Structures are given as C-alpha cells and as structure tokens.
Amino acid sequence: MKFGKEFVSQMVPEWQEAYMNYNSLKSILKQMSKFKDQNESIAPMASTPKGSLKRKLTLYRAFSGLNGKHRESPRKSEDEVILVRAAEEGNEDSESERLYKTMFVQHCEDGVERHVEFFKNLDFEFNKVNVFYKKMVKEVVEEAEELSKQMNFLIGFRIKVDKVKFSNLATNGNSSSTFIMDHVNYDKHDHSHLHMNVIHEVEMRNESHFNHEDGNNEVQTNSRTSIESFRPASLEILDHVKINVTTPDIKGILLSSKSGQTFTKKELRKAEEQLSNALKEFYHKLRLLKRYSFLNLLAFSKILKKYDKVNSRNASKDYLKMVDNSYVGSSDEVNRLMERVEHAFIKHFANGNHRKGMSTLRPTAKRERHRITFLLGLFTGCSIALIVALVILIHAREILYSEGRTKYMENIFPLYSLFGYIVLHMIIYSANVYFWRLCKINYSFIFGFKEGTELNYREVFLLSSGLAVLSLAAVLSNLDMEMDQRTKSFSAFTELVPLGLVIVVLVITFCPFNIIYKSSRFFLIKCAFHCICAPFYKVNLPDNFLADQLTSQVQALRSLEFYVCYYFWGNFKTRSNKCLENDIYKSFYVIVAIIPFWIRFLQCIRRLLLEERNIMHGLNGLKYISTIIALAMRTTNEFHKGMVWTILAATFSSIATIVNTYWDIVIDWGLLRKNSRNPWLRDKLSIPNKSVYFGAMVLNVILRLAWMQSVLGIREAPFLHRTALTALVASLEILRRGIWNFFRLENEHLNNVGMYRAFKSVPLPFNYQDDEENTDT
C-alpha cells in the first residue's frame, strides 16, 4: 500500500483536519514534475555553474514574508537551499505561538511560483500540526494532574475502608502503607513545572508483621529508611472529598465522605472501577497522540524527500532538522506520561501483574477470522437454498390456492414475521456498519463500544444469516395447510415450533456464557434495560439510538403480543384465535405500539430537565407526542370504521409526517443548510456524490407516507393477504430506519470532527472541595 493511503487509513477520524494534508502537497510536486518534464522536452537546460546560484543575503527570496531581520544568519554550508526561522505570534490576551517560516537561500530559476506555493503550504501544514499537538499535550497534562489527585483520594479511601491506623510513623516505624511521589517536569519548552504524582502503594498484608515478638531487625531497618525518605499519606485529604456514586435514580447520589461518616467497600469498588476506566481512556488518548505525532513526522519526511527527488535539491535536511527541534518533534511528555500511567495502573489495578495490566491498557486488535467467513458463506448459502425450497413447495402444493391459506396467514404468518423483521433489521445494520467503515465514520467510538469488542459487518451478517436459517427451517417444518381429518387438528409439535424458536432466541440472547459475542449481547441488554427504565438512567447515545430502532419495530412488538394471545388464549392446534375480538387485546395493541415512542419522549424530557437543559429536546419530545397521537388515531380507525376517525387519523398522521420528516432531515441529518458550501446540504460530507443525499431525502419522504395504506383503507393487494401487506409496510419502515441510521451517525461523527472530540468523557469518582470555596458559596 502506498504511503498516502496508509497515512489516511491510520488517521484518528475526529482529528482528520488536524493532520498534514499530504495529498495537496503531493499534487504540487506532481505539477512541478510535469513542468520540469515539459521544459526538458522543449529545450534541454544548459548546465549551470555551481557558483552562479549563489546570492547575497539581501537578495534572498522570503517565501512566507520573512524579512531582513534574519539577514545576519550566515549560511551553514554551500549546499544549504532553505532557511527556516521561528517567529512568535500572539497577543497579550492569548499565549504566543511559535510559527515556522521558510525562505530560499538558493534561487530556483524555473517554476518559482510552484516552489513558493509548496513551501508556503508546507509551513502552514507544519504549524497546524505543531500547534494542535501542543494544545492536546497541554490538555492531557492538565488531565494528568486531576487523575493524580484522584489517585491520592483513592489510596486514602482504601486505607480508610481497611481501617488502617497511622500514628507517629516517623518515630515508631509502624506502617502499612506509604506513598511515593514521582515528580515529572512536563513542559521543558515553557519552563513550567507541571507535575503528576503517580502514587505507588506499598501494602503489607499483615499489619502486625513489624510488631511480632521475634522482631525482624532487617525489615524494621528497611521500614524506617523508607519512612525517613518518603512522607506517609495523610488521610486529611478525605475531609474535602465527595464520592460520586452512580445509582439508577434520576440524578445519582452524592454521599459526603467527611470525617463523621463511614466509608463502605461497595463505594470503594465503584470508585476503583470508575478510576480504572478513566485511566484506560486517558492511556488510549495518549496512544492516539503518540500515533498522531509519529504519522505526521513521517509524512513530512516522505514529502520532503519527494521534493528533493523531483527538484534534485537538498532541502529536506535543513527542514527536517527544524522539525526534529520543534515541539512535535522533540517533546517527550506523552511518552513519559504513558510510562507513569502504565506503572500506576499495573500497581493499583492489576496487583502488580505487568502482563495483565498491559493487556488491559493495550487490548489486542480484533483479527478477521477465516471461520467467520466460512460460516457466513455456509449460512448464506443455506438461507438461499431454503428460500428456493420454500418457493418450490408452495408452487408444487399449490398452497396459494389452498383452503387453509387464510388460517395460515392469519395465525402462523404473524408468528414467523417477527423473525423476518429482526433478520431484515440486522441485515440493514450490517450494511450500515460496512458503509460507516467505508466512509471512515467512527461508529465504535460514537456508540461507546470497548476496543476490540465491536461487531464488524461480517459478524452482524453472520448472526442475521444464522437466524434466517433457523427461521426458514422452522417455516418449512410448519408448512401444512390442512389439518388431520381424523383428529380435526394440526400436529401439536409442529404448531409449537414458532414458540420454541422464540425461546431459543431468548436463551441465546441472555446466555451468561462467553459464547456468541457475549459482550455485544450484554451491551444490547444493558441499553434495552436503560430504555425500559427511562427516565431513571442518564440518556447516552446508544440508549437513544436503540429506542429509535424500536420505533421502527412496532409490528415486531405487536407480533410478540400476538404470541401471548395465540398460545395462551387461542387454540393453536386448530389455528384459531379471537384476539381481535377481545377489547383487552385491542387496548394493548395500541399500548404496545406506543411504548417505543413513549420511551423516546421520556428520554427527551430527562435531557431537557436534568441533563443538557436544551429546549430542542423539549421540541423533540413534542414530536414524539404528535407521533403517539397519530398512531393511536390510525389504530383506532382500523378497529372502528367511520369517516370521523378516518379524517382524524389522516390529519394527525399528516402533521406527524411533516414534523418527523423535517426533524429527520434538518436536525438528525444536519441537511438543508441554505448557506453551506454544499447548497441545501451541509458544509462537510462523507460521500463525494451529493446526489446520494438528495436521493435519501426524497426516499425518506416517500417511505414516511406508508401510513396512508391504513388510512386509505387499503387492506389487501393482488396476491397479498392483509397480514402480508402489513409485513411489507413494516419492512419499508425498517428500510427507512436503516437509511436514517447512516446519515444520523454521519452527522454525529462530523460534529465530533468539528470539535476534535475523539475521546469519551469518563466520570471521576471524587469531587474535591476546599473549605474556603464552601464558605464563599
């Protein structure tokens, strides 16, 4: 793979604009090369004496506005082609930045404009990289300071929970824990002393070890030496600390940890878990920063060597020397921070096990397995074969013209359609994952998947094809249209196949063993639980996203309701039920459809009142209320025929369609921006072909109008039963949701890119409050 493609593939997606624009510089070099080839083909250039290119410093050409104040700088060698100088720019209100500018020592007679353009762009790209890197390092150093305080609090908390007593350690030498502070100077360029105190806890499992009757003099001597060299930890730090205990209530509880209150092991475990996650995320940030620095330095080296090769000059040596001496080239803060975090994590969260600690901090990259590809091909082939067999059996038995066709469509088809909805949704999601990766949309970060646990499109498609094989096999085993004339009933075993299939899927989903992507299954269960318990949990994007998916699975939820009615109150042996004649079933028919929209409404209300307090969430909640009313009206119109109900259903459905369509396109997708660089779209696009966005908007509107089928009274179509038409309309809604998924995450990703947000915020376990601050407030 060429370096340009490798460079792009290794970028942090959210920092893409902060990387060196390698392709633009490469295109300038291509123009130089073409210009040189054209000149050589027209008239070969005469050899120029070496000394004729020399110029006095007063005739040096400044590429980036460099003037005569640097003229006193002598040339280092006869081969020197460029000079690079640093100029401080800034004002009193902001910290001055060191910007590098290039000038020519040796004049280039041909294609001067292109050389000027190349180095001007090169300086711009380098200054951009250098400033961004310095800014990010400053942020991580500040974060390291906060994490150091959190570690101090955690160690004190551990001692408090274990009820270890400290008294006059310097005199009697009794100690169960001492703290070693490693002070690290971070910013040597700014000569500021920023420190991260990485605390090493020396735990003695037996407190009475030092006071044993036989007394080990050597141990006591070592202990006294350690105590004299380092100061013991003071538990007074806990007098100013509050513990953040996240509980499933509306806001979470803050338990004061002052001297008059107790410290529990449960709180300690929660604090350790939160701080461990914070350190892992911080270490991940440091790794990305290190990779950012390495890739950009390598890119500058590559592009300058290409420049030398194209122009037969020696400019790379001086420029790369400047790069090496710059902040991004010489700063070692990130490496030292990584070492400190590794040491602290291994000591305090891996019990000193280096391999375990490093495997947690640096999870291995997920590898593509041949077994997945093989099973994917096997299940896909089996699914296609089962579909072909199903079509042949239907045609051979003339099932479409059978007398039992109506009973089958009214009783059995709704049971199996549940799996059809799920399989279709999973297939579309696998397509979403494929296109997200193709467009470099960082979906794993947006959803908050743990590194190495996210499912790629092959694995999602494998699961969907596996479920499709089970479902199609079940359909083939239960394809009888006529009951046994002797018993006047169908076989109980075959009629229970759909129920058995549901039980199998539920068992696999909730299986506690580490099989069939346990981490992903439990992540899904966790998000579903948060949706069910809304608004008692903080609304994260995965919970929000899953609730939106459920709003497109209304018919699947109604199929689950039909399972309960059919197998508990119907007669499945004779394929008969009276569900639609039951008022309770009708009521739940409406309630079940409303539940997903009600969940989204509660999530919007929580975000409005407790979290972000943005009025847009209130408007979004009103949008879901309009949808709930429209859905209730349409369902009521199905049960109670009449002009009044039809008019109400059409009116509220039209209002809901307009509101939802506007919200989808303008708010969720971020499109229809009149003054953007891409008219009626948005400034940044992941797909170069703009017609895709316009096509998606039109398709969204068309699929949104599927509700007209029920309002207009279209119950059946040629060769389609009522239940089959309902399934078709539900499938169109799932397809619309799949299209919405791609553009929704694209917009979220581009918002992260605009703010260079490549890391998730991890809550810290402790809040520090000074007494003076409390008295002032």
pLDDT digits (tens, 9 = 90+) for 550-599: 999 999 999 999 999 999 888 888 888 888 888 899 999 999 999 999 99
Measured at the CA of 85, the angle between CA 80 and CA 89, to 5 degrees, comes to: 165
pLDDT in tens, 585-639: 999 999 999 999 999 999 999 999 988 889 999 999 999 999 999 999 988 888 8
> Average per-residue pLDDT in the chain?
79
Residues 6+ apart with CB under 8 A from 82: 102, 103, 104, 105, 119, 315, 318, 319
Report which of residues 69 and 97 the model is more confident about.
97
Whether the bond into 535 is cis, omega within 30 of 0: yes
**Contact of 397 with 481, CB cutoff 8 Å:** yes
Residue 669, SS3? coil
Cα→Cα distances 608→163, 180, 251, 614, Å: 43, 46, 13, 5
Q: d(Cα 469, Cα 455) in Å, to the nearest integer?
A: 20
The DSSP code sequence of 56-85 is -GGGPEESSS--GGGTTPPPS-TT--EEEE
Q: In the chain, what is the greatest distance between 2 CA atoms, to the nearest angstrom?
A: 113
Q: Which residues fall within 8 angstroms of residue 766, CB to CB, at 6 or more apart?
A: 149, 150, 153, 154, 157, 241, 242, 243, 244, 271
Q: What is the DSSP letter of 46?
A: P
pLDDT, position 219:
38
pLDDT tens-digit readout, 141-172: 999 998 888 888 888 888 877 764 443 333 34
Q: Are 314 and 308 in contact (CB under 8 A)?
A: yes
Q: Are 144 and 764 in contact (CB under 8 A)?
A: no
Residue type, 277: N
- Burial grade of 122 (CB within 10 A; 0-12, 13-18, 19 or more): buried
SS3 content of the chain, % helix, strand, coil (to 5): 65, 5, 30
> 305: Cβ–Cβ under 8 A, 6 or more apart, which residues?
316
CB 670 within 8 A of CB 682: yes
Q: How many residues does the chain have?
A: 777
**E strands, 392-447, where?**
none
Q: Please tell me the distance from the alpha carbon of residue 555 to that of residue 546, in angstroms, as a whole number.
A: 16
The reply to whether 690 falls in a domain is yes
Residues 6+ apart with CB under 8 A from 304: 122, 315, 316, 319, 320
Identify any residues that bridge with 681 across adjacent strands, giving them in sequence order: 673
Which among 581, 578, 594 is positioned nearest to 629, based on CA atoms? 594
CA angle 199, 204, 206 (to 5 degrees): 155
- Name the band, by pLDDT with cuts 50, 70 and 90, for residue 102: confident
Task: Record the tokens describing residue 684, joined without a space.
Answer: 């940044």
Report the C-alpha gap between 212 and 355 in whole angstroms.
35
Asked if the structure places residue 283 within a domain, the reply is no
Mean pLDDT to the nearest integer, 33-43 = 69
Spatial distance between the Cα atoms of 474 and 396, rounded to a whole number of angstroms: 19
Run of H or E residues at 615: helix 615-639
**Residue 202: helix, strand or coil by DSSP?**
coil
Closest to 14 in 3D by CA, of 763, 762, 761, 748: 748
Q: Which residue range forms the structural domain that includes residue 450?
A: 370-754
Q: Rounded to an integer, what distance in angstroms lies between the CA atom of residue 636 and that of residue 628?
A: 12
Q: Is the dihedral of CA 715, 719, 724, 728 positive or negative?
A: negative
Is residue 431 included in any domain, yes or no? yes
Using one digit for the tens of pLDDT, what is the confidence trace for 393-447?
A: 988 888 888 888 888 999 999 999 999 999 999 999 999 999 999 998 989 889 9
Question: Pairing mode, if any, of strands 179-182 and 241-245?
Answer: unpaired
Q: Could you give the CA distance from residue 179 to residue 200 in angstroms, rounded to a whole number?
A: 6
**How far is it, in rounded angstroms, from Cα 355 to Cα 609?**
45
Q: Cβ contacts of residue 717 below 8 Å, gap of 6+? A: 725
The pLDDT assigned to 630 comes to: 92
Q: What pTM did the predictor assign?
A: 0.78
Residue with tokens 């017609």: 691
Q: Structure tokens of 252? A: 């979470």
Looking at residues 354-373, what average pLDDT do you find? 83
Q: Is residue 771 part of a domain?
A: no
CA atoms of 191 and 205, how far apart (whole Å): 42
Domain count for the chain, please give it.
Answer: 1
Residue 670: pLDDT over 60: yes
The pLDDT of residue 714: 63
Residue 32 domain-assigned? no
CB 323 within 8 A of CB 299: no
One-letter amino acid of 337? L
Cα 299 from Cα 328, distance rounded (Å): 13
Residue 604, CA distances (Å) to 632, 760, 763 in order: 20, 21, 22
CA dist 586 and 565 (Å) reads 11
Lookup result for tokens 């699961």:
463
Element (DSSP H or E) covering residue 762 = none
Kindly give, in sequence order, each residue whose CB lies less than 8 Å from that of residue 377, ignoring residues fewer than 6 positions away: none
Residue 592: inside a domain: yes
Task: Work out the percent of the chain whose per-residue pLDDT is above 70.
Answer: 75
435, part of any domain? yes
d(CA 63, CA 84): 10
C-beta of residue 420 within 8 angstroms of C-beta of residue 559:
no
Instruction: Assign 86 to helix, strand or coil.
Output: strand
- Position 104 scores a pLDDT of 65
Rounded Cα distance between 450 and 364, Å, is 12
How would residue 382 be classed by pLDDT, with cut points 50, 70 and 90? very high
Average pLDDT over residues 276-297: 91
- Model confidence at 92, pLDDT cuts 50, 70, 90, reads very low
* 3-state secondary structure string across 694-744: HHHHHHHHHHHHHHHHHHCCCCCECCECHHHHHHHHHHHHHHHHHHHHHHH
pLDDT-derived band at 450, boundaries 50, 70, 90:
confident
Residue 272 included in any domain: no
Helix (H, G, I), strand (E, B) or coil at 184: coil
Mean pLDDT value of segment 343-366: 85
Q: Is 255 helix (H, G, I), strand (E, B) or coil?
A: strand
| SS (HEC) of 389-402 | HHHHHHHHHCHHHC
